[in-house]
Amino acid sequence: MLQKRVIPCLLLRKGGLYKTEQFKKPTYIGDPINAIKIFNEKEVDELMFLDIDASVENKEPNYKIIEDIASECFMPLCYGGGIKNVEQMKRIYALGAEKVSISSQAVLNPKLINEAADIFGNQSVIVTIDIKKDFWGKKKVFINNGKKNTKLSPIDFIKQVEALGAGEIVINNCDNDGMMKGYDIELLKEIKENVKVPIIALGGAGNLNHIKEAFETAKVDAVACGSMFVYQGPLKGVLISYPPYEKIQDLLGNK
């Protein structure tokens, strides 16, 4: 059983660190290496980097930035973006990443999940699923940065991904992305009731209570946060931060 974690999720774009709102309005935050240095000092559980351009622009993963990030990172690292085959994954692992996240390819080529899990082990293969409401208000699985509606049911697709051998699944609510108003607790609860694979909640965290609610009410195995760890105050001034160890333990119910 994986330990519960609170994971900063950082978005890469053109080699820089960015933040979005509902997958739109990318705002430059700063240099990813500087952010890693701060998170190293804060003794963060794990780091997740997602390249938001690679798949949409049909680019290879940026191996140079992955190497730079991995060499600076003192904690387990997960990378996602532009990954289409096991050869790319092998190269990313060799550069120092412990986990690789598949997103669009999990829909377009689901056999890649099974192939990667067989070669690298389930614990090294993460699937990030972007979910948002369609025109009729129904929650569906989207790909290509929330631009393409696959029309897949989230629960059905998550069960398929679980069966194929994903070690963990990131549930990213596109509608909540960057809004800092809380996770989609009802969706997360429904997912946890239907699958056994560890679930990481992403999209919407704005304060410690949101994280606590995800653990206590939705029973997720981990949470990932973006805006909460890079912004400060109502004007969203850029400030890389992470809760103190004692507060994290309280969130995890260890106090």
Instruction: Provide the token pair at 15.
Output: 């080699």
Active site residue 130: yes
With contact defined as beta carbons under 8 Å apart, do 32 and 12 qualify? Answer: yes
Strand partners, 77: 47
Q: Is the dihedral of CA 68, 73, 76, 79 positive or negative?
A: negative
Catalytic choice (51, 53, 130, 184): 130
For 253, counting Cβ atoms within 10 Å of its Cβ (0-12 exposed, 13-18 middle, 19+ buried), the class is exposed
Q: For the beta carbon of residue 241, count every other beta carbon within 10 angstroms.
A: 13
User: What residues have CB less than 8 Å from 17, skipping those under 6 apart?
Assistant: 10, 11, 28, 29, 30, 31, 32, 35, 230
Catalytic annotation, residues: 130
